[in-house]
A and B are shown apart, each in its own frame.
Chain A
């Protein structure tokens, strides 16, 4: 960890927090989205696996020390104890997985199409698959609803998150054109 890495991790943690205050943007098919998980995806895609996973860890610590840093001004230990805590803690492995895949596909020697599809796949696998596995697993455990029912209940949010994954991939490619990303 260089001092630049410390600055990047702190700044991306702040981006994840600040995107939670941006009003949810209504999408064409009516699913409202908050941009906080877009921040998690961008941390993974832009910073890579290790630093990308550290940014949400910082946010989780900020939640724990009682700062209202989650969307809607939520924060404090009640979040850790709540039934949806898996969707918060799951940010860490999801940013790691997204970053790990992005490191392998978004390379200058690959064609533009491969890089873009790789980034979309990284964001979808990281945030949709890994995050939902953590969130749904915790929800099923706490409520006793059972895995499959919790799974179908969460499907409503998938379209919005896939759209965010595409947005994250577009943003990462555009940022990569303007600034040499070193993951």
Chain B
């Protein structure tokens, strides 16, 4: 597993529900994009800074979080200053800086697990409408998180082997064996998931005749769907 940026804590920001924080961030972001008065945008900045301080994380962590985005914002501001005019540069820099502060505050105070749960809940309406298969989407996400360190290890092993053969820093020599190993592994992963009977049957969907999907077998119940091996 890889560690998320957000951590658990006891501050007010930590205790707010993740969905509420995301909705609040979306509203703030929308407002910031429609405001183009430098004075108003400058007024938003202290609130953003206060939100960052309210995360209770040490200043070094906060600085680390904003360092790289701040450079990007500074470059964008410089481009605006040189290519457009000073007022546009000021508006763009203030707007992006305020947005960065609020987004960092939410990210630092919400764990990846909370956000993943919120993501799953947000998918539920689409799942009911038959547009997205939420259990499969959640499984894909979980598998991807698990596979990141695994693929990292494979890359390290391949690079080491290629370096011994004098092929260091050759992207083709890295990618070809990596992708072949990935394709082989996908077969094994599929066998392991099928052996565990995923996805679980979903009687709720076929039982409700009023739903638009009513009566039709859900994709997860199609015979042959789970057996796609060569």
A residues bordering B, Cβ < 8 Å? 1-4, 6-15, 17-19, 21-22, 25, 35, 38, 42, 46, 54, 58-59, 61-62, 64-69, 72, 74-84, 139, 142-146, 149, 153, 164, 167-168, 170-171, 174-175, 178-179
Contacts and interface: CB of A to CB of B under 8 A. Distances in A.
A17, A72, A149: residue with the most chain B Cβ atoms closer than 10 Å? A17
Contacts of B194: 3
A6 B4 contact: no
B103 A77 contact: yes
A178 B178 contact: no
B65 interface: yes
Given A7-B185, A178-B180, 11 more contacts: A3-B193, A10-B189, A12-B182, A14-B151, A17-B148, A66-B6, A67-B4, A74-B69, A149-B83, A167-B175, A175-B180
Nearest to B115: A65
25 contacts: A1-B136, A1-B219, A4-B189, A6-B190, A7-B193, A10-B140, A14-B144, A14-B150, A17-B144, A17-B151, A18-B148, A21-B155, A25-B169, A46-B183, A59-B144, A61-B141, A68-B5, A76-B65, A78-B65, A80-B103, A81-B100, A84-B72, A164-B171, A171-B172, A171-B175
Interface string B133-175: 1001001110111111011101100010000000001011011
Contacts of B84: 143-146
Give the interface residue-count category, chain B: 35 or more
B118 to A, nearest CB: 8
B13 interface: no
Contacts of A4: 186-187, 189-190, 228-229
Contacts of B103: 76-78, 80-81
B206 interface: no
Contacts, number: 212
Contacts of A167: 171-172, 175
B96 A142 contact: yes
Interface of B: 2-6, 22, 25, 29, 65-66, 68-69, 72-73, 76, 79-80, 83-84, 88, 92, 96, 99-100, 103-104, 106-107, 110-112, 115-116, 119, 133, 136, 139-141, 143-148, 150-152, 154-155, 159, 169, 171-172, 174-176, 178-180, 182-187, 189-190, 193-194, 198, 219, 225-226, 228-229
B145 to A, nearest CB: 7
Contact of B147 (A10, A21, A64): A10
